[in-house]
Amino acid sequence: PRASKIPPLLFSTFLAFIYYAPTLFESIGQSSEMALILSGIFNVLQLVAVAICFFIIDKVGRRPLAIFGGFAACIPYGIIAILSGLYDDSWITHKAEGWAAVAMAFLFIMIYGVSYSPLGWCLPSEVFPNALRSKGVAVSTATVWLCNFIVGVATPPMIENIGFGTYVFFAVFCFLAGVWAYFLVPETRGRTLEQMDEAFGDTSGQEEKELMKQAALQARSQRPRDTVDV
């Protein structure tokens, strides 16, 4: 079903900065000691952003957050790419620009925390019918971690070989995540399985409902017979 297209497109490039925060902070001119401190702040900000999402996700909805998260996250990545391209060889003499890049990294993690950080786990559990939910969520989770593995392996050599191009790459994929959300992600807030089937053009939920009705009717028809036997 079309719902199965959602998990692979939850682009794991969002997580590259989280996995390699100390390395990436060093790549924008911070010392190794400061990079570790900034990484701690970075993760605390993500926790704060996820907590904010907890209070707004049912008010704002999943689809607006997915669209916002994709398009908004590409902006700080793009600015970091520009700053890194201009000052990569001279961060020591451009401290202000280095801290501007750090601010953009913090902005990115706040955007990610209120959007794709929780949505990556929320959406798969809401789009599959009951009969397929366990398998669908399992495949979704496996796909996410496979993508995470690929990003984890690819990021260090990308930083070493293409420098600021790494941030351009991440910005492009964040933008594509926004495009994907705009065209393919339906709103799942407060919707029944039947309504989700309509959104995806799928009939599996309705078929499942009919099977449950038939099973209930069959159970009722057998009750008098069981009573006579007793």
What is d(CA 131, CA 146) in angstroms, rounded to the nearest whole number?
24
pLDDT of 8: 45
pTM for this predicted structure: 0.80
pLDDT of 114: 95
pLDDT of 113: 93
pLDDT of 24: 87
CA distances from 54 to 57, 64, 84, 118, 122 (A): 6, 15, 34, 8, 11
pLDDT of 86: 93
pLDDT of 222: 72
pLDDT of 129: 73
The tokens describing 146, both together, are 């496979």
Work out whether the CA dihedral 90, 95, 97, 103 comes out positive or negative: positive
pLDDT of 206: 62
pLDDT of 223: 65
Q: What is the residue-level pLDDT of the chain in tens, covering all 230 positions?
A: 444 444 444 456 677 788 888 888 988 888 899 999 999 999 999 999 999 999 999 999 999 999 999 999 999 999 999 999 999 888 888 989 999 999 999 999 999 999 988 888 888 888 777 777 788 888 888 888 888 888 888 888 998 899 899 999 989 988 988 998 898 888 888 776 666 666 666 666 566 666 667 777 777 777 655 554 54
Contact 38, 21 (CB under 8 A): yes
What is d(CA 54, CA 114) in angstroms, rounded to the nearest whole number?
8
pLDDT of 82: 96
CA distances from 165 to 27, 72, 116, 176 (A): 12, 19, 23, 17
